[in-house]
Structure formats: structure tokens, C-alpha cells
Chain A
């Protein structure tokens, strides 16, 4: 087995240009994903999770201020590839993505099979019949019947649409799939079905996932490791057990404490204050205005990532 991780992100920065100044959506982020591993990226809305996904895919909007760092995928720095190389060699062939919001992820005026097969038609130039046949195969693989192929998106339920989107992401047999809130618009039963499907596909196809979610319990379902993000930075990375059983960062602790559990009376906690502006983030640790354990140094100095136990990293002055 290759020692090198499948994906290694180092010093990634993505700033958006606005009239009021650059928005530091992703600020100096580093993480890696091993082959066959699932890394969950957890954080509140607006903390930069999706920005990381579009940085990897290089699906940048027009108003980019800064885009730098290194994204090494299977030994190749994606940052150094041209747009055309990235389009032809990487996107969908090796890294594909399931976009947020299953309801709008399909074109309402095109039949399902055409949308599932469109990447094949573009990249491999396959004929219509073959494209349809392979789309049907992909649909069967995600637990859909062949009749779905000729349906239009409005004729499908939310769960079916999500399965279609997953089929579309897997049609080129990629190695890494970025799942951006794949179940956010679905009810809890459908959510469970989709999670089981993703697990099965991961085993069957030996996939790696970058699983982006705001839902901490859901992250535990699928992920081997978790990265907790706050205000454009990763504050804690560790295995699922480490994060759940021994959360180190005060933000992670609060996040876990705010999740309701079925067993036992539990006073739900919340984090006072609000998410800081990413245009003008607080000096020092970005969490310090809301942190109950803030120290004078937190206001002055930005904490470094340090490894507390094996593969468990945290950026907090409490552990200096």
C-alpha cells in the first residue's frame, strides 16, 4: 500500500473579493485524506467548508482575491495543472463531487439518464445507446430501477434525486468523491438510506470521501476522521473516536454539547455570540470572543496546529 495520502492539502487560502475587502473564506488550511478513508469536514454554515470543496475542484467564482496553497492529489499538485488538464484529467475522472441541495442538482428539462451520462459523453465521447446503457447501470448501482432513466427530475422523490446525483458523481469511477451536504434537504429516513448507500458504495468501489456536513452525528456515521472548521480555519483534526470521546478544542466541545441525545436528560448548550466576520476576523485565535476559556494570549497570538496524541491535532493555546 502506498504510504502517500491520496489527497494532501497544505496552506490552502481562498479569499473572495468584495467591496468591503477580501473575505478570508479558507485561510491557511491543511488536511489529508488516505486512500479508502472518509474525512468529514464539520462546521457551522459559512465557515468555509464548501469553499474548500470548490478549491479542490477549482470551480472558482469570478470574484477571487487569493487562491493559493498546494493540493497534492496522488502525487500531483493540482494547483500546477492548467485548467484544461484539470478538466480533462482530474475532474470527474479522479475527483467528483455531489453538490449541495439535491432538489436543484438536476436539470428539470432533461431526462435523468442524459444527466447521469453527460460526463461520459463529454469525456469518452460514447454513443447515445452506450451512454444510456451505462447510465442505467450506474442507476442500478445506486438502487434505482431502470425506468427511472427516462423520467424527468420532477417525477422523482428527493431521495431518488439524491441517488441520481450520486450515480452521476460515480459514473466515471473516480477515486475521491466530495460530498457537499449530500443529505441536507432530506427527511431522516431517506437520510439514513442515503448514508447506507454511501457506505456500501465506498466498500464496493474503494472510494475515498471528503464528507462536508454541518451535522456532527451524521459525520460520525460515515467518517473515519473528522476535521472541525471554524471561521475559515481547521481547529481540530482527529479520528472519529478521538473527536467524540476526547474533544480538545473548546469549539468542538461546545459543538458536541449542543447535539441532543436520546438517552439521559441533557441540558443542551449553545455558543454565545455569533460567527465572526471573515472580512475582518478577530486577531489571535478566531474563536476567542466566544470562548469560555479564553486567555490573554488568545487575543494576541494565533494558535499553531499541534499533535496532542497520535493523529489528533488541535489549534488551541490551552495545549501549549
Chain B
């Protein structure tokens, strides 16, 4: 019987004929498309932005992915942002008893068609004045009711007036509005819900969103004709992007996308390099035999017994290493291993084949025989080992990041999961923050496991019947 064809191209062709090979190829394509999407979706320094809390201020916190709407059949609020340029402004001067007073009326409208209240509302005013000016703001609802948010004097020393629904001022306004509409005090004050609910629903005690056109109207009064203000109104949504956001408002999609190349680079490099080196040691051990064999085999057994994860935890804990240092350490601990054993068991058989004897007789050096003749013979078999070892490295990186011992700056899937854990995402029901990165980890692991299984079937014909 002639030896089966085990050239790489032929093996890959065969692998794509198996069912698990096709599934693995599809999953790998998905992962690769994630990698390709990074520069399209986030064409900036992702790592720097990810770790900058300022960069995410305008995003809703803990927002679910947008496609949740389809699952629950409701329109959920998106972010609504009205910057200074969205405000129409009308300025005029009034002369009264010899004083000239400048008045500016600013007005912005927005449509609110959603079925749920925004998660948060924020109004911000920045006064540009040399002394002080007075600003009053009214929140005008679709039903015509106007709620005064504030009426304050802003001075040069503290030119910024910021009012968020988490603050006391918004609470007081909302409470007063509730009292006015229903005649009773609310049990709990949720300003964004009270101020945007229909009056009937408030009276019923089951606030429902009042849909329609809202407006914010500001009136600025100043004695100084050159004074002006800048205004911003932001209504934070409840859904964001394809993967939602975390507790800092970070777009998880960026983290997920960026996690793909990191996970692939880490696990593939670790798997390829360690499998190749282990293969080489296996060839050395099997071909040279004797004392070299003995030393390599005993050392391999020693290294296989050492538990990798506890050592990695220890090292990361003590040195706070980056993912690339971690990679180097992983490779150092994987110089010899199970592949060394597998290859070692294959080489003596190959060594006895007559082309090896021929190579020896025409003067090929042991190195040439090992690299030119034996290495390509065992390579197809190591493909499956390589693919099957990738999930282990994906999980290792995720486990370390989850424990907070991974790379301190790179967003990785494991680190996103770790953040979710420390923020109590499971407790609050922020499922997208857990399931999406965990799903990515599992998908990558599954893809390579299936690929390895498919390779195994092709190069190990006895498994083909299965």
C-alpha cells in the first residue's frame, strides 16, 4: 500500500469536505470578518479610547443592543443629543429705565416616538460672560405643559450649569410637577419618567410615555450686550449599537471587535509556535534517540505535569504583565508537551522507511533528514493538534483577564467578561455584557475544535468511518 497523500493543499481540500470542516470554516469566516470590521467600525486608537472614561460620556450606560427591540416588539429610546447648533436663538435688547438689557431666547425641539423613558436626561449651560447672567429654562411637553427646570444666575466664576436627572434639582422639579398633576406626592421620584409621562397615566399611577414633540426653551437675561450661552440637551437612550454598552457607557461592539484579533493573535501564535517547537523536539527525540531522547522525554513529562494556569496566575499577579509578555511565558512553558510525545512516537516508524535510508546513504546530514524528510511527514498530523490546542489558549487568556490578571490596557473578551463580573452584570441582568463576549470565546474555541476534529479525520483515516 502506498502512503496516503498528505500534502497541505490536499489535506485542506479534504478537510473542507467534512461537515465539521465546513462548520469550522464558516465560524472562522465570522471571526475573520470581526477582525476586518475593526478598522471600518473604529478607525482610531481603540486601546487608548477604550481606557479613556471621557470618551464615552455621551453614550448611555448599560444600554442593551438595538436588536432587542425586535425581540420585545417595542421601540426603545435611542440617544437624542441637541447641541448648541440645534437651538434656534432670538436675541433682542430691551431698554428699561436707562438700562439696556440683553435678552436671548433659545429653543430646540425634538421628536420622542419611543415606548420607554430615556435612561437619563442632562441639560448643560455654559455662560460666556464677564460678570453674570440669568438663565431660565422650560421643558415644554407635547401636551402643552411647560415645566420650569431652573431660573438661575450664573456668574463668571462658575460659568457651567449642569442639571442631570440624577441630581436634586431635577428631582424637585419632577416632584412638584407630579404634585401639580395628581395632587399627591410620588412614592419614588424618577424625573425622566415623571416629566415625560402623560398626565392620565400619572394620575393612574402607571406612567406611560407621552409621545410627540418636546421642546426646551431657555431665556437668557444679561446687562452685558456681548454675553452669550452655549446649551446642550442630551437624552440618553436605552439601546445602543449591536452589542450594547457597559457601565461606563463604552460601546461593547468595539471591545468585541477588537477582542477578535487579540484573541486570534494570542491563541494562534501560542498554538503555532508551541506546536512547531514541540514537533521539532519530538523529531529530535525520535530521530537521534539514545541519551537525547531520554533527556527530552523526561523533561517533557516534567513540563506536562506542571499546571499552567496557577503558574500563569502567579506570574501575572506578581508582575502585572501585558498580553505579549504573557504569550512569551506561555510559549516558554509549552516548548515541550504532548505534541513532543505524539511526534516522538511517529518518528521511529518514518525513520525506518527506505527513503530515509537512501537519504542517509547519499550523505544527507541528520539535520537535513529531520527537516526535509521527517518534518513534512509529521506536519499534517500536527495540524490537528495545533487546531485543537487553540481553544486552550483562548480560554487561558480569557481566564486570566477574567480574574483581572490579563493585559491591563487591551480590551479583550476575557477582560470585558471580567468587567461585567466586577460590575455585577449578571445581578442586574445586563445579559449582553456577558453573553456576547462569552459567545465569541466559545465560537472561537468551537471553530478550532471542529477544525482540529476535521483535520484529525483526514489524516487519521481510521476516524473517517465515524
Q: Which residues of A contact B (CB under 8 A)?
A: 57, 59, 87-88, 91-92, 96-97, 99-101, 103-110, 115, 118-119, 122-123, 152-154, 165, 168, 172
CB 8 Å contact bits of B362-389 with A (1 = contact, 0 = none)? 1111001000110011011000000000
Q: How far is the CB of A90 from chain B (nearest CB, A)?
A: 9
Asked whether A122 lies within 8 Å of B7 as measured between CB atoms, the reply is no
Chain A residue numbers with a CB within 8 Å of B358 are: 97, 99, 105, 165, 168
Chain B residue numbers with a CB within 8 Å of A110 are: 372-373, 376
Asked whether B3 lies within 8 Å of A154 as measured between CB atoms, the reply is yes
Known A-B contacts: A100-B354, A105-B355, A107-B353. Give 5 more (CB < 8 A): A92-B362, A97-B361, A107-B377, A109-B6, A168-B362
Please tell me if B360 contacts chain A, counting CB pairs below 8 Å.
yes
Asked whether A109 lies within 8 Å of B376 as measured between CB atoms, the reply is yes
Contact of A105 among B5, B354, B368, B380 (CB under 8 A): B354
Asked whether A59 lies within 8 Å of B372 as measured between CB atoms, the reply is no
Chain A residue numbers with a CB within 8 Å of B43 are: none
- Given A99-B357, A101-B354, A108-B377, decide whether A123 and B363 contact each other with a Cβ distance below 8 A: yes
Chain A residue numbers with a CB within 8 Å of B353 are: 104, 107
Residue of chain B at shortest CB distance from A111 = B7
Contact of B362 among A103, A104, A108, A118 (CB under 8 A): A118
Q: How far is the CB of A164 from chain B (nearest CB, A)?
A: 11
Asked whether A152 lies within 8 Å of B357 as measured between CB atoms, the reply is no
Asked whether B361 lies within 8 Å of A109 as measured between CB atoms, the reply is no
Q: Which residues of B contact A (CB under 8 A)?
A: 1-7, 353-355, 357-365, 368, 372-373, 376-377, 379-380
Asked whether A91 lies within 8 Å of B355 as measured between CB atoms, the reply is no
Residue of chain B at shortest CB distance from A155 = B5
Chain B residue numbers with a CB within 8 Å of A168 are: 358, 362
Asked whether A91 lies within 8 Å of B377 as measured between CB atoms, the reply is no
Q: State in angstroms the CA–CA spacing of A165 and B377 once bound together.
A: 19
Asked whether A91 lies within 8 Å of B5 as measured between CB atoms, the reply is no
8 CB-based A-B contacts, threshold 8 Å = A57-B361, A88-B363, A91-B361, A96-B361, A97-B361, A105-B355, A110-B372, A153-B3
Residue of chain B at shortest CB distance from A90 = B363
Q: How far is the CB of A245 from chain B (nearest CB, A)?
A: 36
Q: How far is the CB of B10 from chain A (nearest CB, A)?
A: 9
Q: State in angstroms the CA–CA spacing of A104 and B376 once bound together.
A: 16
Q: State in angstroms the CA–CA spacing of A92 and B373 once bound together.
A: 18
Q: State in angstroms the CA–CA spacing of A255 and B117 once bound together.
A: 104
Asked whether A104 lies within 8 Å of B364 as measured between CB atoms, the reply is no
Chain B residue numbers with a CB within 8 Å of A57 are: 361
Q: How far is the CB of A73 from chain B (nearest CB, A)?
A: 15
Contact of B2 among A91, A103, A118 (CB under 8 A): A103
Residue of chain A at shortest CB distance from B364 = A122
Chain A residue numbers with a CB within 8 Å of B354 are: 99-101, 104-105
Q: State in angstroms the CA–CA spacing of A105 and B358 once bound together.
A: 8
Q: How far is the CB of A239 from chain B (nearest CB, A)?
A: 30
Asked whether A104 lies within 8 Å of B3 as measured between CB atoms, the reply is yes
Asked whether B368 lies within 8 Å of A122 as measured between CB atoms, the reply is yes
Q: State in angstroms the CA–CA spacing of A110 and B372 once bound together.
A: 8
Contact of A115 among B4, B6, B355, B365 (CB under 8 A): B355
Asked whether A153 lies within 8 Å of B2 as measured between CB atoms, the reply is yes
Q: State in angstroms the CA–CA spacing of A88 and B362 once bound together.
A: 9
Chain A residue numbers with a CB within 8 Å of B5 are: 108, 152, 154
Residue of chain B at shortest CB distance from A110 = B376
Q: State in angstroms the CA–CA spacing of A110 and B379 once bound together.
A: 12
Q: State in angstroms the CA–CA spacing of A103 and B4 once bound together.
A: 12
Asked whether B3 lies within 8 Å of A91 as measured between CB atoms, the reply is no
Chain B residue numbers with a CB within 8 Å of A154 are: 2-5
- Given A103-B2, A107-B377, A109-B377, decide whether A119 and B363 contact each other with a Cβ distance below 8 A: yes
Asked whether A107 lies within 8 Å of B355 as measured between CB atoms, the reply is yes
Q: How far is the CB of B349 from chain A (nearest CB, A)?
A: 11
Q: How far is the CB of A122 from chain B (nearest CB, A)?
A: 5
Asked whether B2 lies within 8 Å of A119 as measured between CB atoms, the reply is no
Chain A residue numbers with a CB within 8 Å of B7 are: 109, 152
Asked whether B355 lies within 8 Å of A96 as measured between CB atoms, the reply is no
Q: State in angstroms the CA–CA spacing of A119 and B359 once bound together.
A: 8
Residue of chain A at shortest CB distance from B8 = A109
Q: State in angstroms the CA–CA spacing of A97 and B377 once bound together.
A: 23
Q: State in angstroms the CA–CA spacing of A108 and B361 once bound together.
A: 19
Chain B residue numbers with a CB within 8 Å of A119 are: 362-363
Asked whether A59 lies within 8 Å of B373 as measured between CB atoms, the reply is no
Q: How far is the CB of B347 from chain A (nearest CB, A)?
A: 14
- Given A152-B5, A153-B2, A154-B4, decide whether A106 and B362 contact each other with a Cβ distance below 8 A: no
Q: How far is the CB of A97 from chain B (nearest CB, A)?
A: 6
Q: State in angstroms the CA–CA spacing of A106 and B359 once bound together.
A: 10
Chain B residue numbers with a CB within 8 Å of A152 are: 5, 7
Chain A residue numbers with a CB within 8 Å of B2 are: 103, 108, 153-154
